[in-house]
Structure 1
Amino acid sequence: MPKRVLQGVVVSDKQNKTVVVKVERRFTHPLLKKTVRRSKNYHAHDEANNSKVGDTVLIEETRPISRLKRWIIVDSAAAPTS
């Protein structure tokens, strides 16, 4: 079974080697035909503590690392500044 890869934004980096990533998904409501946004937070392992709040990162599913962490950061890129 392939590992899932999700893209999200880092919302917290206060823990050591752990970041909280908010992943947002968009879908069309089946009855109202309106675009709905849902978001979920994932705890991801960041071995080098490179990611900061606001960075866009790719996370990949992995074996359980701790009670909450089941994801690791694969690639991180700074959020575009506007």
Structure 2
Amino acid sequence: MTGQEKKARTMQGVVASNGMQDSIVVNTSRYVKHAKYKKFIRKSTKVMAHDAENICGVGDTVTIQECRPLSKNKSWTLVSIDSKAKI
């Protein structure tokens, strides 16, 4: 490239599962406007992210960043833990 590189996307979400080694499942939600009824509805997406140190727990709010494909389902990596879950 000629000095212009794309900035990787980041998303914020809640950890839904951490049962795998070096991986977490993050649930992200967003508001979208319905095309016909013009009502705002909440849509959610689950993505797998790489957690190298296995430090995330279920319920933590995290920030993840897009990266190269690490496995069949994993193309995101953990950037930071914004808040820990209340136990």
Q: TM above 0.5, one fold?
A: yes
The structure with more radius of gyration: 2
Aligned-residue sequence identity (percent) comes to 38
User: Structure 1, residues 12-53: CA drift from partner, whole Å, max 9, x if none?
Assistant: 000001000001011222321211111010000000101100
Instruction: Kindly report the root-mean-square deviation, in angstroms, between the aligned alpha carbons of the 2 structures.
Output: 1.3
TM-score, normalised via structure 2 length: 0.86
Q: Find runs of 4+ consecutive structure 1 residues off by over 6 angstroms.
A: none
Give the length in aligned residue pairs: 81
TM-score normalised by structure 1 residue count: 0.91
Q: Which runs of 5+ in 2 are unaligned?
A: 1-5
Matched, 1:40 2:42: no
- 2:25 alignment counterpart: 20
> Unaligned regions of 5+ residues in structure 1, if any?
none
Which stretch has the larger CA shift, 10-19 or 23-32? 23-32
